[in-house]
């Protein structure tokens, strides 16, 4: 059976849609790569800030905590962005949350209302996963370089397969809008919002976007369990995030902070 034709992103079409963000990104489109994040991390020392790598297919795409992310051009949009920030790596605490704000804003502009965020890197519709964010960091002298990977479901696959008890079910843009927008429009919209969010983050950190994130937080004031390595570590009521992007949890012991890493949120 012949392979389906490539749906390769046309960088010139995306650039034409970037509005005030035009000129701030260098878009590279490939038919296939192992992982856009891995490839951009490899290029990070020499590539310019603003390079975007978008792939039709990822053969070894990675989600949070090393989970595999399998994508096809017919059903998804997967890309990574390299960005340079002033200062040390510690200043980038909470960046994945800030990126989520940019993604939700962009999807709203594409007609996808009701998109919310789950700490620290999931994009939701209802209680299903619409997309994911993976941020990887690298120190570079007096600056820090971030590779931000984003995967969005445009359409649900014909076969989803078995979903583990700890995993969220999938959602797709086709469930939210009558006609899912062209991938060029979605990519341009996300990049435009990312440029705005990155500028604000460079100046004020996550603290400047904390209120916006809270307005999109899916599980605010809801009971949750915090799992580590599959075991319940804490449980309480989700109280949002602090100025550094750490999860705040109201427990019997009081208000506790949970840092990003291998921590997952699940309902009781």
Average the pLDDT over 243-268 and give the result. Answer: 82
CA atoms of 173 and 42, how far apart (whole Å): 31
Q: What is the pLDDT of residues 136-181, one digit of tens each?
A: 999 988 899 999 999 999 988 655 544 444 578 899 999 999 887 8
Task: Quote the pTM value.
Answer: 0.90
CA-nearest of 199, 265, 201 to 236 is 265
Cβ 117 vs Cβ 126: under 8 Å: no
Average the pLDDT over 182-195 and give the result. Answer: 96
HSE-CB of 5 using CA atoms within 13 angstroms:
2
Q: Which residue spans of the chain are classified as CATH 2.30.30.100?
A: 219-266
CA-nearest of 18, 20, 150, 157 to 95 is 150
Q: Say which DSSP state 190 is in.
A: H
Cβ 196 vs Cβ 99: under 8 Å: no
Q: Quick one: fold of 219-266? A: SH3 type barrels. (2.30.30)
HSE-CB of 132 using CA atoms within 13 angstroms:
19
Among 73-87, 90-104, 249-263, the range with the most confident prediction by mean pLDDT is 90-104
Give the helix/strand (H/E) hosting 143: strand 143-153
Kindly report the CATH number that applies to the domain delimited by 11-215.
3.30.930.10
pLDDT value of residue 59: 78
Between 158 and 106, the higher pLDDT residue: 106
CA atoms of 142 and 131, how far apart (whole Å): 32
Average the pLDDT over 94-103 and give the result. Answer: 97
For residue 207, give Cα distances in angstroms to 56, 191, 251: 35, 21, 23
Q: Which residue spans of the chain are classified as CATH 3.30.930.10?
A: 11-215
Q: What is the pLDDT of residues 9-26, one digit of tens each?
A: 999 999 999 989 999 999
Q: What is the pLDDT of residues 67-95, one digit of tens each?
A: 444 556 668 899 999 999 999 999 999 99
């Amino acid at each position: 059976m012949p392979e389906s034709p490539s749906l390769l992103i046309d960088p010139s079409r995306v650039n034409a849609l970037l509005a005030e963000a035009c000129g701030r990104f260098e878009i590279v489109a490939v038919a296939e790569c192992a992982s856009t994040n891995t490839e951009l991390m490899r290029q990070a020392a020499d590539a310019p800030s603003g390079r975007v790598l978008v792939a039709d297919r990822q053969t070894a795409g990675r989600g949070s905590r090393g989970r595999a992310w399998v994508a096809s051009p017919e059903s998804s949009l997967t890309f990574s962005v390299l960005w340079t920030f002033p200062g040390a790596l510690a200043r980038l605490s909470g960046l994945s949350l800030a990126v989520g704000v940019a993604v939700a804003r962009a999807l709203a502009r594409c007609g996808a209302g009701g998109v919310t965020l789950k700490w620290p890197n999931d994009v939701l519709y209802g209680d299903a996963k619409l997309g994911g964010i993976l941020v990887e960091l690298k120190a570079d002298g007096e600056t820090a370089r971030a590779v931000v990977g984003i995967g969005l479901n445009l359409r649900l696959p014909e076969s989803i397969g078995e979903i583990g008890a700890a995993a969220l079910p999938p959602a797709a843009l086709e469930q939210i809008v009558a006609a899912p927008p062209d991938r060029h429009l979605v990519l341009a919209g996300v990049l435009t919002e990312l440029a705005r969010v990155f500028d604000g983050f460079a100046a004020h950190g996550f603290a400047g976007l904390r209120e916006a994130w809270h307005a999109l937080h899916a599980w605010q004031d809801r009971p949750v369990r915090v799992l580590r390595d599959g075991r319940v570590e804490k449980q309480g009521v989700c109280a949002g995030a602090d100025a550094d992007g750490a999860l705040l949890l109201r427990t019997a012991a009081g208000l506790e902070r949970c840092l990003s890493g291998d921590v997952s949120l699940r309902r009781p």
